[in-house]
DNA sequence: ACGGTGAATTGGAACGGTCCAACGCTGTCC
DNA sequence: GGACAGCGTTGGACCGTTCCAATTCACCGT
């Protein structure tokens, strides 16, 4: 009762201590009053309408400037029923690969006036489990899932209502969800064929886990088979970590092994490739003279002069760009059939391969 | 006129092609209607009010479930004048350091029901230039700036209206803006004193740029001076890159140099330390037998077994946690004087240092 | 029988924008 | 001189919530 007579005073929101400086941010009405026009006219000015006289436009702009007015995005999107925001769900921001995709995404989305709202599933437990709820409550205009994702059921639910695109992963396949991914199988073939072209005949692969690990292994196997080297090819399992790569390489290179050891190794990713490099050096093998190595992902690890690894560059930036393109298309035609495209990788040559010793 | 009789039909928003599936998402009114209650009661249920009969509560919950209703965050925050969102501005997501800070931030913010809206100044040109405008339009409840920042004027403007905290940087100092940063000077002293304690007498520093570079150099100089080694200490300038570290190390270690060469080097960061490592190996020096190295930041580079660098761990997670604490406090008392705290780093010992050769 | 009490429920006014129909002007044309 | 067109401008409905005051209703004591 007493309170209703002093509406804009501090502590008006019932918190323990007064919020902000007690003064609410200026509204469109405040601007209108100051400029001596109606709020409708201010709205027209904000939208850059041409049917406003220069005099009033200037008055409005001055008032905006003087008051430091900023339109309220919530109010705006409430009536427009568009937030100009797309949700981006990642699962590990530590992965430099993601940043490339984000960069590619952003370049296009920004040009279309969309901002990105990022959530990291691993970093933010809530976002991982409950991202469906969060993004729906925020009424994002679209959703991009980057990499693998914790909760497929949740995604299916969101995808029914929201234009959705998966970037950098091959699954899950859902009715109206586009997929843009790296062509991992092709990249693995590229790496393997590079070793073969150098003259290597005993070639090994340090495998990774998950669907991506599967695809890269498949590419490796296809390449060795195509060149009749399947009999002398070996696959050791790793886990995508440096330690896993190290141990796999030790198993591969250990002299106690019955068969002759490989002269070329294609590793699942750069990290495990670095592990393999460590193992080789511990065993007194020179890279690339005694052992050729190829990694994958072309991370900045590969670019360290000390390591200088050949690596498959999976063009993540392009994946991001294309995913953005898909999302924009799907926002226009939400019921179009799901598309599925692969982006071709390239092999980046540095110093970790050479022809085998004669 | 004709339209007003068919309000919820597709294309109602006047776009070129129909948006979504033509059906608007359910609102609180729809839920109320279905449950046979008023919208006010639904609102009470949503807020978990105890003064709702069990029968009606259940009816409402069922209706929500059946319709797949999700409250509209924009409408909610419009009346509540709180978005439960804090803006996080970073300047390069590629930096693994940031991710740690974000993780620390998130752990506390999430527990207080706040979500993070991230913008990368380098990735998103608009966010970098115009983040002040964007965050103000979104009416975020607070702002965290992680690392350095492109536009100090913009920050000053925002900070007048918004609880603001700077994490991981020592500047700029503004009236109501708290600062939580790593104690770079102390970390540098730690690293340098470790070398001194091992018995090194000719110690060098590969410096970095900016305020942080300055602070670390200062810590180095303080330590050598305190131990009476200032005369034999050298500082070479680098730029925080691998290449810069490499070149600085070449200059330091080159035999043609007039003076005797250092036996211990403290580098500005892990990356330039890796560059120094490369240079040492090219010159035929063994690390750590001929040359001890210490890096900074304890990134995962340092943890690569192949490199296995001693490095100063600047406890970024803790920086994030404390920054979140500051922000929460400041949201309660926005006019409190600005605080400034430093987080103590620790030295992580691995394999890149040893006593100098006798 | 009646007012009082308190709990459960409801209508309606915000919140800060957009947008549409309608308005007052001025000038033009027949 | 009146109908009309077109321009610049405005009031008010609406978007989907929250919150407050008001209402209903059963129950109680007198």
Concatenating the DSSP letter of every residue in B309-353 gives -EEEE--HHHHHHHHHHHHHHHHH-TTSPPPEEEEPPEEEP-SS-
B7 pLDDT above the threshold of 50? no
Q: Measure, in angstroms, how far nucleotide C19 C1' is from residue A319 CA.
A: 39
Are A321 and A173 part of one and the same domain?
yes
Domain end call among A71, A96, A131:
A71
Which three-class secondary structure state does DSSP give residue B183? coil
Average pLDDT for residues B291-312, to the nearest whole number?
Answer: 93
The highest-confidence range among A96-100, A154-158, A244-248, by mean pLDDT, is: A244-248
Contacts of A196 (CB under 8 A, 6+ apart): A203, A223, A224, A227, A229
CATH number of the structural domain spanning residue A9:
1.10.260.40
Q: Tell me if A352 is assigned to some domain.
A: no
Q: What is the pLDDT of residue B25?
A: 93
CA quadruple B23, B25, B27, B30: dihedral, nearest 10? 50
Q: Tell me if B258 is assigned to some domain.
A: yes
Q: Tell me if A350 is assigned to some domain.
A: no
Domain end call among B22, B44, B71:
B71
Are A135 and A172 part of one and the same domain?
yes
- CA–CA separation, A140 and A84 (whole Å): 7
- CA–CA separation, A145 and A149 (whole Å): 7
Whether the CB-CB separation of A176 and A159 falls below 8 Å is answered with yes
Whether the CB-CB separation of B216 and B207 falls below 8 Å is answered with yes
- CA–CA separation, B291 and B280 (whole Å): 8
Among the partner-chain residues A70, A96, A304, the one whose CB lies closest to the CB of B136 is A70
Protein CB footprint (7 Å) on chain C nucleotides: 7-12, 14-21
B226 CA to chain A: closest CA distance, Å?
35
From the number of C-beta atoms within 10 Å of its C-beta (0-12, 13-18, 19+), residue B17 rates as exposed
Q: Which nucleotide is nearest to B38 (CA to C1')?
A: C10
Whether the CB-CB separation of B181 and B208 falls below 8 Å is answered with no
Alpha carbon distances (Å) from A64 to A32, A38, A50, A224, B157: 9, 14, 18, 68, 15
A61 pLDDT above the threshold of 50? yes
pLDDT (tens digit per residue) in B143-160? 999 988 777 888 888 899
**Which residues on B lie below 8 Å from A103 (Cβ)?**
123
Q: How many domains is chain A built from?
A: 3
Q: What is the pLDDT of residue B17?
A: 32
For residue A15, give the chain B residue with the closest CA: B332
Interface residues, strand D, Cβ cutoff 7 Å:
A 1, 4, 14, 37-41, 44, 50-53, 55-56, 75, 78-79, 81; B 4, 7, 24-25, 27-29, 39-40, 43, 46-47, 69-72, 75-76, 78-80
How many CB atoms neighbour CB B31 within 10 A?
27
Whether the CB-CB separation of A75 and A46 falls below 8 Å is answered with no
Mean pLDDT, chain B, integer: 89
**Could you please report the per-residue DSSP string of A65-125?**
HHHT----HHHHHHHHS---EEEEEES-TT-HHHHHHHHHHHHHHHHTT-EEEEEETTT-H
Average pLDDT for residues A303-316, to the nearest whole number?
Answer: 93
Work out whether strand B115-120 and strand B234-237 pair parallel, antiparallel, or are unpaired.
unpaired
Are A96 and A143 part of one and the same domain?
yes
Are A188 and A308 part of one and the same domain?
yes
Check residues B259 and A42 and name the one with the higher pLDDT.
Answer: A42
A55 CA to chain B: closest CA distance, Å?
25
Q: What is the pLDDT of residue A124?
A: 65
Q: Tell me if A7 is assigned to some domain.
A: yes
Check residues B16 and A345 and name the one with the higher pLDDT.
Answer: A345
Q: What is the pLDDT of residue B19?
A: 33
Q: What is the pLDDT of residue B348?
A: 96
The alpha-carbon radius of gyration of chain A (Å, integer) is 28
Are A51 and A123 part of one and the same domain?
no
Whether the CB-CB separation of A92 and A147 falls below 8 Å is answered with yes
Are A172 and A194 part of one and the same domain?
no
From A115, A139, A118, select the one nearest A127 (Cα to Cα).
A118
Instruction: Please state the length of chain B.
Output: 358
Whether the CB-CB separation of A178 and A339 falls below 8 Å is answered with yes
Q: Tell me if B236 is assigned to some domain.
A: yes
Average pLDDT for residues B81-110, to the nearest whole number?
Answer: 88
- CA–CA separation, A260 and A323 (whole Å): 45
**Which residues on B lie below 8 Å from A331 (Cβ)?**
19
Are A189 and A284 part of one and the same domain?
yes
- CA–CA separation, A91 and A50 (whole Å): 46
Contacts of B139 (CB under 8 A, 6+ apart): A25, A72, A73, A74, B77, B81, B83
Return the biggest CA–CA distance within chain A.
95
Q: What are phi and psi of A15, to 5 degrees?
A: -80, 170
Are A189 and A178 part of one and the same domain?
no
Q: What is the pLDDT of residue B124?
A: 65
Q: Tell me if B164 is assigned to some domain.
A: no
Are A211 and A283 part of one and the same domain?
yes
- CA–CA separation, B110 and B133 (whole Å): 25
Among the partner-chain residues B137, B278, B332, the one whose CB lies closest to the CB of A70 is B137
Q: Which of A92-96, A314-318, B196-200, B249-253 has the lowest mean pLDDT?
A: A92-96
**Edge-first strand listing for the sheet containing B164-167:** B115-120, B85-90, B142-146, B164-167, B177-182, B340-343
Q: Taking CA B293 as the corner, what is the angle to CA B289 and CA B296, rounded to the nearest 5 degrees?
A: 160
A155 CA to chain B: closest CA distance, Å?
14
B16 pLDDT above the threshold of 80? no
The share of chain A scoring above pLDDT 70, in percent, equals 91
User: Of B70, B139, B161, B298, which to mutate for an interface test with A (greatest number of A Cβ within 10 Å)?
Assistant: B70
Are A228 and A119 part of one and the same domain?
no
- CA–CA separation, A146 and A131 (whole Å): 13
Protein CB footprint (7 Å) on chain D nucleotides: 7-12, 14-21
Q: Tell me if B174 is assigned to some domain.
A: no
The highest-confidence range among A7-21, B57-71, B78-92, by mean pLDDT, is: B57-71
Mean pLDDT, chain A, integer: 89
Which three-class secondary structure state does DSSP give residue B237? strand
* Helical (H) or strand (E) element with A204: strand A203-207
H helix intervals, chain B: 28-35, 39-46, 54-67, 73-80, 96-111, 125-137, 152-159, 184-198, 210-226, 242-253, 270-282, 300-303, 316-332
- CA–CA separation, A317 and A101 (whole Å): 5
Alpha carbon distances (Å) from A296 to A104, A188, A235, B156: 19, 8, 16, 44
- DSSP for residue A232: G
Q: Taking CA B306 as the corner, what is the angle to CA B302 and CA B308, rounded to the nearest 5 degrees?
A: 35
From B250, B253, B220, select the one nearest B235 (Cα to Cα).
B220
A222 CA to chain B: closest CA distance, Å?
32
Contacts of A24 (CB under 8 A, 6+ apart): A8, B81
pLDDT (tens digit per residue) in B199-254? 999 999 999 998 999 999 999 999 999 999 999 999 999 999 999 999 999 999 98
> How much of chain A is helix, strand and coil, in % rounded to 5?
45, 15, 40
* Helical (H) or strand (E) element with B179: strand B177-182
How many CB atoms neighbour CB B260 within 10 A?
10
Domain that holds residue A167: 83-182+316-344
Contact B332 A137 (CB under 8 A): no
Q: Tell me if A78 is assigned to some domain.
A: no
The alpha-carbon radius of gyration of chain B (Å, integer) is 28
CATH number of the structural domain spanning residue B224:
3.40.50.2300
Local confidence band at A139 (pLDDT 50, 70, 90 cut-offs): very high
Q: What is the pLDDT of residue A72?
A: 97
Residue B288, preceding peptide bond in cis (omega within 30° of 0): yes
A7 pLDDT above the threshold of 80? no
Domain end call among A19, A40, A71:
A71
Whether the CB-CB separation of A149 and A173 falls below 8 Å is answered with no
Average pLDDT for residues B110-120, to the nearest whole number?
Answer: 89
- DSSP for residue B81: -
- DSSP for residue A334: T
User: Of A23, A129, A248, A305, which to mutate for an interface test with B (greatest number of B Cβ within 10 Å)?
Assistant: A305
Which three-class secondary structure state does DSSP give residue A261? coil
Local confidence band at A78 (pLDDT 50, 70, 90 cut-offs): very high
């Amino acid at each position: 009762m007493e309170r209703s007579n002093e509406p804009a005073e501090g502590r008006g929101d019932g918190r323990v201590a007064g919020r902000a400086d007690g003064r609410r941010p200026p509204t469109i009405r405040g601007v209108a009053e100051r400029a001596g026009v109606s709020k409708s006219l201010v709205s027209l000015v904000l939208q850059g309408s041409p049917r406003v006289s220069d005099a009033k436009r200037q008055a409005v702009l001055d008032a905006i400037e003087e008051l430091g007015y900023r339109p309220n995005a919530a109010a705006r999107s409430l009536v427009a029923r568009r937030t100009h925001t797309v949700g981006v769900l990642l699962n590990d921001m530590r992965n430099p690969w993601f940043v490339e995709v984000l960069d590619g995404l952003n370049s296009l989305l920004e040009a279309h006036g969309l901002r990105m709202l990022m959530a990291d599933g691993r970093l933010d437990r809530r976002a991982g489990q409950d991202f469906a709820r969060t993004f729906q409550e925020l009424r994002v205009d679209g959703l991009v899932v980057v990499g693998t994702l914790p909760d497929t059921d949740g995604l299916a639910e969101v995808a029914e209502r929201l234009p959705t695109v998966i970037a950098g992963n091959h699954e899950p396949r859902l009715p109206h969800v586009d997929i843009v991914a790296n062509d991992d199988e092709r990249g693995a073939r590229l790496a393997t064929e590079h070793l073969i072209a150098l003259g290597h005949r005993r070639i090994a692969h340090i495998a990774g886990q998950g669907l991506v690990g599967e695809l890269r292994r498949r590419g490796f196997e296809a390449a060795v088979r195509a060149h009749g080297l399947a009999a002398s090819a070996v696959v050791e399992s790793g886990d995508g970590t440096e330690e896993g790569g190290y141990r796999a390489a030790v198993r591969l290179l250990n002299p106690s092994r019955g068969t002759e050891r490989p002269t070329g190794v294609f590793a699942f990713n750069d990290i495990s490739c670095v592990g393999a490099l460590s193992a080789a050096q511990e065993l007194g093998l020179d890279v690339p003279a005694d052992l050729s190595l190829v990694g994958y992902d072309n991370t900045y690890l590969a670019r360290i002069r000390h390591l200088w690894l050949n690596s498959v560059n999976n063009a993540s930036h392009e994946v991001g760009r294309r995913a953005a393109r898909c999302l924009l298309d799907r926002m226009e035609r939400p019921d179009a059939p799901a598309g599925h495209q692969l982006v071709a990788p390239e092999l980046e040559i540095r110093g970790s391969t050479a022809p085998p010793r004669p």
